[in-house]
Amino acid sequence: MRMSGNDAAETSKIEVWWDMKDCPIPEGYDARRVRPSMERAFEKIGYTGPVSITAYGNQTQTPDHHLLALSSTGVAVVHTIVESTRSVMYRDMVEWRGQNPPPATMMIISDQVEGDFSWDLARLQQRTRYDLFQANSMKSRDDLLLVYYANWRWEQLLGEEGTPPLVTCGLSSAAMFYCKSCNFDCKSLKKFRKHLSSYKHGMEEAINPPDKQLLCVTKAWARNYPATPENATAKIHVLWDMNDCPIPEGYDARRVRPSIERALKELSYTGLVSITAFADQKQTPVHHLLALSSTGVDFSHTLPWVHYSRMITDFEIWTKDNPAPASIMIISDEVASSKDRSTLICRKLQESNYNCFLAYSVRPFEMPVLVTSAEWLWDNLLAVSETKRNILHKCSESERVVAASTGMFCCTLCLCDCKSLDDFNKHLASKDHTQEEKRMLSHTQAFPHRQRQYKISNYYDEARYPPKTKRTRNAPRKGFLPRSLRFTRR
């Protein structure tokens, strides 16, 4: 996958961390070509900033002519034991991020990015984004959690027609040899070799080697952050999974919106809140539909096999019109706890750098890959308005909000928007809709292994027909209609 980066990053510095064991210098390859090859690859896609490269590995195994070739072209050489390469490289990367705020570009050359490495880096990228590149050998799979601007194959990258400098360039004075076991560094290969073969180094490496375990720095992050100034007044879009987090028996559904707004306000988020409720709306009790729509909650009709993909598609559509700063709130057990479900949202957050909130009815067993500024248990969130008095006052306040954001009913199967509950019910009972449901069901059964990951575009591509009805969601909305008056129970 390749995306075009932003202008500032294209001229800013490029930092490369290279695992020499996973991606070795091939037999007969002139190691002086490594740097120009990388520079060439970056140039080709418009990245022209200065490149600095650090090569990690057990350097007692690397031949002298490679080390000389690398250092003569300004590549820093780091010695560490093989088992620690991944964690040492990651630690250096996190440290570098702390010292080099964006815009800047990062490139990881490794086959071992999956697992805690990509989990933690994906979380770092959600909060602070760098243009990210990767190269790996043919052996490794592509990582799905991280958003890369380009993902090269190592051999292909080395094949770039970079010509090695004929004479040793002036960079060599900056190049250094490092030993991570002893915190030793020097500028000459001779001294480096002497160090690596010394008794002191041998003892240090045997007794006190660098950590083999990768340290996930984001695990220590707090869960509740007060709003930063730029996010405090930004828009907030709420995706509410009504299956996972239903309205409790006896709860007045009109209190959902004020409760959410109040909980956000307590953390100083005061931006306009839009809420979309996802469910098979044929199952939602009529009094809930009425109560929620009277407070400006939008409805999305989904069916189980496209439930999450529709939530994600809705989010993607919203991001197009709402660049950061903005916040997204996800109310869903599945998205909070399942890796499959949160991956796409995690990728979107790396691109958008939105502020994110989570609510769930059960606290996830593991820390979600989504970086959140606040998390709530659904029951606690709903109780927020209860603990305050003036519920009636709150309700009337949210009705004023409604005037600005008219609730809407959307069938995400047919991509059909209805402005009233009446029309919505008519649509759900219509022949066209029933046909669409059948068609989607049979299509989903034909591709059972992919059913959960469907996006609207995939579905229409594969089903080979365009949506019949164009969505009118972005069209200017009319003023608030007292829909409850127009509703007739069927």
Stretch that binds Zn ion, among 87-95, 107-115, 405-413, 445-453 (CB under 5 A): 405-413
Stretch that binds Zn ion, among 7-15, 177-185, 276-284, 397-405 (CB under 5 A): 177-185
Give strand pairing partners of 55.
18, 77
Taking the complex as a whole, the smallest distance from the CB of residue 417 to Zn ion amounts, in Å, to 10
Asked whether position 433 contacts Zn ion by CB under 5 A, the answer is yes
Tell me which of 179, 279, 358, 374 binds Zn ion, using CB under 5 A.
179
Largest CA distance in the chain: 88
The smaller minimum CB distance to Zn ion, of residues 149 and 177, is found at 177
Taking the complex as a whole, the smallest distance from the CB of residue 196 to Zn ion amounts, in Å, to 6
Asked whether position 341 contacts Zn ion by CB under 5 A, the answer is no
The smaller minimum CB distance to Zn ion, of residues 396 and 442, is found at 442
Stretch that binds Zn ion, among 7-15, 175-183, 318-326, 417-425 (CB under 5 A): 175-183
Taking the complex as a whole, the smallest distance from the CB of residue 413 to Zn ion amounts, in Å, to 5
Asked whether position 35 contacts Zn ion by CB under 5 A, the answer is no
Distance in angstroms (rounded) separating the CA atoms of residues 409 and 427: 10
Taking the complex as a whole, the smallest distance from the CB of residue 471 to Zn ion amounts, in Å, to 12
Stretch that binds Zn ion, among 248-256, 278-286, 376-384, 428-436 (CB under 5 A): 428-436
Q: Residues 138, 140, 141, CA angle at the centre, nearest 5°?
A: 110
Asked whether position 201 contacts Zn ion by CB under 5 A, the answer is yes
Taking the complex as a whole, the smallest distance from the CB of residue 168 to Zn ion amounts, in Å, to 26
Taking the complex as a whole, the smallest distance from the CB of residue 427 to Zn ion amounts, in Å, to 6
Tell me which of 181, 231, 372, 425 binds Zn ion, using CB under 5 A.
181
Stretch that binds Zn ion, among 127-135, 183-191, 261-269, 470-478 (CB under 5 A): 183-191
Asked whether position 413 contacts Zn ion by CB under 5 A, the answer is yes
The smaller minimum CB distance to Zn ion, of residues 35 and 201, is found at 201
For the chain, report the end-to-end CA distance as a whole number of angstroms: 50
Tell me which of 14, 382, 414, 421 binds Zn ion, using CB under 5 A.
414
Asked whether position 78 contacts Zn ion by CB under 5 A, the answer is no
Asked whether position 182 contacts Zn ion by CB under 5 A, the answer is yes
Taking the complex as a whole, the smallest distance from the CB of residue 453 to Zn ion amounts, in Å, to 21
The smaller minimum CB distance to Zn ion, of residues 82 and 383, is found at 82
Q: Can you say whether residue 69 is alpha, beta or left, with left for phi > 0 and alpha for psi between -120 and 50 degrees?
A: alpha
Asked whether position 411 contacts Zn ion by CB under 5 A, the answer is yes
Q: What does the per-residue mask of binding to Zn ion show for 101-140, with x meaning CB under 5 A?
A: ----------------------------------------
Stretch that binds Zn ion, among 312-320, 364-372, 430-438, 439-447 (CB under 5 A): 430-438
Pick from 264, 289, 304: nearest CA to 441: 304
The smaller minimum CB distance to Zn ion, of residues 102 and 209, is found at 209
Stretch that binds Zn ion, among 51-59, 119-127, 228-236, 406-414 (CB under 5 A): 406-414
Which parts of 370-399 interact with Zn ion (CB under 5 A)? none
Question: Number of residues in contact with Zn ion, rule: CB under 5 A?
Answer: 9
Distance in angstroms (rounded) separating the CA atoms of residues 18 and 77: 10
Taking the complex as a whole, the smallest distance from the CB of residue 486 to Zn ion amounts, in Å, to 20
Taking the complex as a whole, the smallest distance from the CB of residue 440 to Zn ion amounts, in Å, to 10
Taking the complex as a whole, the smallest distance from the CB of residue 181 to Zn ion amounts, in Å, to 4
The smaller minimum CB distance to Zn ion, of residues 452 and 471, is found at 471
Asked whether position 234 contacts Zn ion by CB under 5 A, the answer is no
Please give the structure tokens belonging to residue 358: 């989570």
Taking the complex as a whole, the smallest distance from the CB of residue 282 to Zn ion amounts, in Å, to 11
Cβ atoms within 10 Å of 50's Cβ, excluding its own: 11
Distance in angstroms (rounded) separating the CA atoms of residues 37 and 394: 63
The contact set with Zn ion (CB under 5 A) reads 179, 181-182, 184, 201, 411, 413-414, 433
